[in-house]
Amino acid sequence: MATELIEGVWWFDLRGVNAYLVEDGDTLTLVDAGTPLSRRELARDLRDLGHGFADIDRVLVTHYDVDHVGVLNRVDAPVYAGATDAPLVGGERRPGVTGRKGLSQRLAAPFCPTPAGPVRSIGDGDTVGSFTVVHTPGHTPGHVSYVSERLSVAFVGDLVRESGGRLEPSPGLLSHDTAQVRASIQRLAAALPEVDVLGMGHGVPFERDGHERLRELADRL
Ligand SMILES: [Zn+2]
């Protein structure tokens, strides 16, 4: 189901993982791309808003994981991903097998589709439309967040997750480096403008005072 979080910013609840759609003027931006099993649901949510996969102008990927890149083969548009994760998203590099995270990525790699569009590598401080890229490594080495002060939204992927109304760091079991996750939360919280919407990869996104919620979490760590 598609839920509008703030004008032009939609949350797609894809059963266990979130994707987002941003309508900014004529430009349609998809943020993360669900699991390979999300195609129908994503198509339906897009259709409910009067769109199809063909209307998407670009995809902002927060990180390389099977539940965030699942339908990239359906979207013939540029795909943006953090520099370290981009070769994995594009299929030019296979995940390493060092550590639990690498191993789980290696096992899931056969299920990650090759994107239909070109993959563009981005880094800290780059801009895509009204979004500024913040490198927030930890869950994966190339994990990035996308912040738009103008739209009052931050998409933070799996840097954090929401559970029972509470924000928590990405779980250690699923992360590449938990100390790095905490450092990235601190850094993003300190740099984040006063955005309302905080959209994470898992859980219920915050519609109001998202920046404050992230700062509260940073203070707790
Ligand atoms: Zn995830």
38 CA → ligand 1 middle, Å: 13
Strands 166-169 and 58-60, sheet pairing:
unpaired
* Domain residue spans of the chain: 2-220
198 CA → ligand 1 middle, Å: 15
Residue 122: band (very low, low, confident or very high) from pLDDT cuts 50, 70, 90: very high
* Percent of the chain topping pLDDT 70: 100
Mean pLDDT of the chain: 95
- As a whole number of angstroms, the distance between CA 16 and CA 162 comes to 11
Residue range 2-220 forms a domain whose CATH class is: alpha beta
72 CA → ligand 1 middle, Å: 15
Strands 79-82 and 119-122, sheet pairing:
parallel
Residues near 188 by beta carbon (within 8 Å), at least 6 away in sequence: 134, 136, 145, 154, 156, 159, 214
17 CA → ligand 1 middle, Å: 6
- 25-72 pLDDT tens trace: 999 999 999 999 999 999 999 999 999 999 999 999 999 999 999 999
3-state SS assignment for residue 46: helix
Arithmetic mean of pLDDT, 98-110: 83
